[in-house]
Structure 1
Amino acid sequence: MKIVVLGGGESGCGAAYLAKKKGMEVFLSDKGAIKDNYRQFLTGQDIEFEEGSHDEERILNADWIVKSPGIPKKAEMIRKIQEKGIRLSSEIEFASEFTDAKIIAITGSNGKTTTTSLIYYILKNDGLNVGLGGNIGYSFARQVADENHEYYVLEVSSFQLDDIQNFRPYISLLLNLSQDHLDQYNYNYEEYALAKFRIAENQENDNFFIYNKDDEMSKNILEKLEIKARMIPFSTREQLTEGGFINGDRIEIKLKDDFSMKIDELSLLGNHNVANSLAASIAGKILEINNESIRNSLMTFQAVEHRLELVTEIDGVKYINDSKATNVNATYYALESMKTPTVWIVGGVDKGNDYSEIEELVKRKVKAIVCLGIDNDKIINFFKDKKKFIYDTSSMEKAVEISKSLAKKGDTVLLSPCCASFDLFRSYEDRGHQFKEQVTKEIR
């Protein structure tokens, strides 16, 4: 079988490696430049590849094409592949064909990385043989090639779900929905939401679908779809007869047996993380992990880097790195959890943001806005009549310098950009690292 892999990053290299190990004829093509470490990996594994262009004839002669999630659905090459009727899969689809492990797959607009990491931690802490992959860590395909896990916990994006055919998790979780990546979904929120719901489309009645009962778009979609999996809800607003919910100062899970613990014992802060902890606990209960083990994991789990990460406190000012907040809804959760006057660093590549969602929170919580991006006009124009202090910057050094001058003892400086990072930074990780470097450079 001839396999062509499009994209030479972690996902693409993992898929090519798995295909090679399965005895397939493999060719990897990347229209851009491949990073040195991945180029060396491909060469070391004797995997044929090209970079800087696509050999169209060779690609369109494939039996099966594996597409990296970063390649837009509307790309010309993708259109030609679809016209020719060649099977086009994401790496998670491809890798899932070669493992019998139970897959726990997590998607949603916000909280995916935190909840994926937390579920992995719960399973690992209980001694289960588990791998972590998808949009986090090593690629799923590379782990399937080299390791023999009984469980995989996968963070899954809508872009990965766009290219599945048979992918069937044992447990799927849809944490929440908000308007994100609409530029890739014809600026249609429902089209984006339906892409997320594909996580459950191949599930059967011996599988589980964990969903957010408070989420309005999820409610609307569930009225139209038939989910075959056993559906288990969680809510932070109402008490449920089955699922996860808040009861006073406690979280509670009601399934075969009950689980309960105090909210203030959770290691993760903020209302959104209570929801994430509920979802993760339900997954733990489905997998029959005992209550004490789940409680221990929820108490000792450490927050994910770039996600409401406390960097340091200088002269009574807290500096928080929430660089992973690349949409308005993620920043909503960050601002909601702020307990002190906040200097807010925001900006980057806008993805169709509607800032009215956070207007009231900004009025109540934010003392000054520091814009960080090449083009900050949309943010400035929206907030100029609502906030007295708005600053326009195009470097992390300047953004942090101004934020430090504005923040007083007892305040918080929050990097929660609402936007993608690619105007000034290589990635949201790069943006977060530069923030931490600038914040701490005077105290090193």
Structure 2
Amino acid sequence: MKKIVILGGGESGVGSAILAQAKGFEVFLSDNGALQEKYKIELTSRNIPFEEKGHTEENILSAGEIIKSPGIPDSVPLIQQAKAKGISIISEIEFAGRYTDATKICITGSNGKTTTTSLLYHLLKSAGLNVGLGGNIGKSFARQVAENSYDYYVLELSSFQLDNMYDFKADIAILLNITPDHLDRYDHDFQKYVDAKMRITQNQTPEDAFIYWAEDPVVTKEVAKKQPIARVFTFSEHKADNVSAYADNDQIVINTSKSVFTMEQDLLALTGTHNLYNSLASAIAAKLLDIKDEKIRQSLSDFKGVEHRLEKVATVRGIQFINDSKATNVNSCWYALKSMKTKVVLILGGTDKGNDYQEIEELVKTKVHALVFLGVDNSKLHKFFDGKIGTIVDAGSMEEAVTKAYSLSKEGDSVLLSPCCASFDLFKNYEDRGDQFKYWVRKL
């Protein structure tokens, strides 16, 4: 019996363990940190052996195959040792993909993944399809393959998940954009990150579909190089030659070989240019899956949006507070600032992933009148922004950041938490950061 070792005991790892056990493998799960209580109970109740707060080397290196959590970099010595021994190292997505014949719609991109994935899931579910939501969002793909029998999966895939996928294939692949992110994981080499994102198209056949943003210079260059063999569909803000979906005369237009779909742009639930792209990409996929036009219209107009992504929290004394904690890179913050119609007090900071703040410099100068730096080490932010904005203050906690931002705001302003950075210096994750922001705003 083949032994499968799972490294990492979060949702992805525990889901993989459940599926591996269901498929008759000998399973062992190992995590360098502490496991959440709910996962320990789950593993124990299923008699799946595990360890936490450290790895037993000989146990791990006796594996026939290793399923690695996306959070573990390849540079970790244990992974290097396993590779040297010739042990196959795969991702949870690769593993789960072996055991389902469902249609897989996969979404990646530096920004907009979660919104597009959630919107597309909403479109399919509202149309009555038997569909699961997974990948970088919700319950793990592996757990769902073990416990459910969905006909469709909508999967959000990060570059880390794509890194260890080899035979997996997306029936419909959506690539929203590529901008610098996670460069600390890619030896500060942008091309390595680009290559990871482009893996979304691997193994596709002429029957499959690849949807991407026609105006993204990085993606269009890669597409020209790689010449994907799947059917190609593109989306763009404006009508242009060979663009499948766009906005024109206050309408959105989706062209597929079967038909043309139109809808008034004002009826879209999601506002802002970046959300237009997310809506266009989702609508192309929905059309390819033969969802009826009236269902697409209804879902695009009644979608509720994603928590921690440009989420309106409250208005206090005429000051609007917006939670965009999910903006963990500079390009995300650029989109947030672009959508602002008022003067802004901007909360930035956290764990820098090799950010280049030049991308938002002009928008900060024109829209932001005060900056609050929230982080353990704000030196890089100070070095870039000092002297460019009149008011800059530091905060060491979310309570302090909200209080200072409030005191710096005037009626009619917006306080925007759009940090550009990962959250691990002061918070558990971006959700925790956003939840704390909402808590302190409501305390004002």
**TM-score for the superposition, normalised by structure 1:** 0.98
Matching of residue 384 in structure 1 with residue 347 in structure 2: no
Partner of 2:317: 315
Maintained 8 Å contact 2:236/2:243: no
Among residues 388, 392, 395, which one is paired with 1:393 in the alignment? Answer: 395
Maintained 8 Å contact 2:330/2:420: yes
Segments of 5+ residues of structure 2 without an aligned counterpart are: none
Q: CA deviation at 1:380?
A: 1.5
Maintained 8 Å contact 1:239/1:247: no
Partner of 1:191: 192
Partner of 2:152: 151
Q: CA deviation at 1:225?
A: 1.2
* Structure 2 letter corresponding to 1:40: I
Q: CA deviation at 1:439?
A: 0.1
Task: Give the Cα–Cα distance (whole angstroms) in 1 for the partners of residues 228 and 44 of structure 2.
Answer: 44
Matching of residue 35 in structure 1 with residue 36 in structure 2: yes
Partner of 1:306: 308
Helix, strand or coil at the partner of 1:345: strand
* Structure 2 letter corresponding to 1:24: F
Partner of 1:362: 364
Helix, strand or coil at the partner of 2:237: coil
* Structure 1 letter corresponding to 2:177: N
Helix, strand or coil at the partner of 1:31: coil
What do residues 375-404 of structure 1 show as CA deviations (whole Å, max 9, x unaligned)?
111112211121001111111111100111
Task: Give the Cα–Cα distance (whole angstroms) in 1 for the partners of residues 298 and 36 of structure 2.
Answer: 40
Helix, strand or coil at the partner of 1:298: helix
Partner of 1:421: 423
Partner of 1:224: 225
Helix, strand or coil at the partner of 2:95: helix
| Count of aligned pairs | 442
Farther-moved stretch of structure 1 (206-215 vs 256-265): 256-265
Q: CA deviation at 1:159?
A: 0.3
Task: Give the Cα–Cα distance (whole angstroms) in 2 for the partners of residues 274 and 421 of structure 1.
Answer: 27
Partner of 1:132: 133
Partner of 1:99: 100
Partner of 1:7: 8
What do residues 111-162 of structure 1 show as CA deviations (whole Å, max 9, x unaligned)?
0000000000000000000000001000000000000000000000000110
Partner of 1:64: 65
Maintained 8 Å contact 2:214/2:243: no
Q: CA deviation at 1:240?
A: 4.1
Helix, strand or coil at the partner of 1:320: strand
Q: CA deviation at 1:78?
A: 1.0
Deviation >3 Å, runs of 4+: none
Task: Give the Cα–Cα distance (whole angstroms) in 2 for the partners of residues 158 and 116 of structure 1.
Answer: 15
Task: Give the Cα–Cα distance (whole angstroms) in 2 for the partners of residues 380 and 185 of structure 1.
Answer: 25
* Structure 2 letter corresponding to 1:324: K
**Identity of aligned pairs, percent?**
55
Q: CA deviation at 1:241?
A: 4.0
What do residues 68-123 of structure 1 show as CA deviations (whole Å, max 9, x unaligned)?
10111211111111111111110011001000000000000000000000000000
Task: Give the Cα–Cα distance (whole angstroms) in 2 for the partners of residues 262 and 323 of structure 1.
Answer: 30
Partner of 2:268: 266
Matching of residue 402 in structure 1 with residue 399 in structure 2: no
Maintained 8 Å contact 1:242/1:253: no
Segments of 5+ residues of structure 1 without an aligned counterpart are: none
Farther-moved stretch of structure 1 (431-440 vs 313-322): 313-322
* Structure 1 letter corresponding to 2:385: F
Partner of 1:257: 259
Q: CA deviation at 1:284?
A: 0.3
Maintained 8 Å contact 1:31/1:53: yes
Matching of residue 24 in structure 1 with residue 25 in structure 2: yes
Task: Give the Cα–Cα distance (whole angstroms) in 1 for the partners of residues 287 and 82 of structure 2.
Answer: 42
Helix, strand or coil at the partner of 1:235: strand
Among residues 285, 288, 312, which one is paired with 1:286 in the alignment? Answer: 288
Task: Give the Cα–Cα distance (whole angstroms) in 1 for the partners of residues 265 and 320 of structure 2.
Answer: 23
Matching of residue 123 in structure 1 with residue 124 in structure 2: yes
Helix, strand or coil at the partner of 1:223: helix
**TM-score for the superposition, normalised by structure 2:** 0.98
Q: CA deviation at 1:242?
A: 4.8
Q: CA deviation at 1:264?
A: 1.5
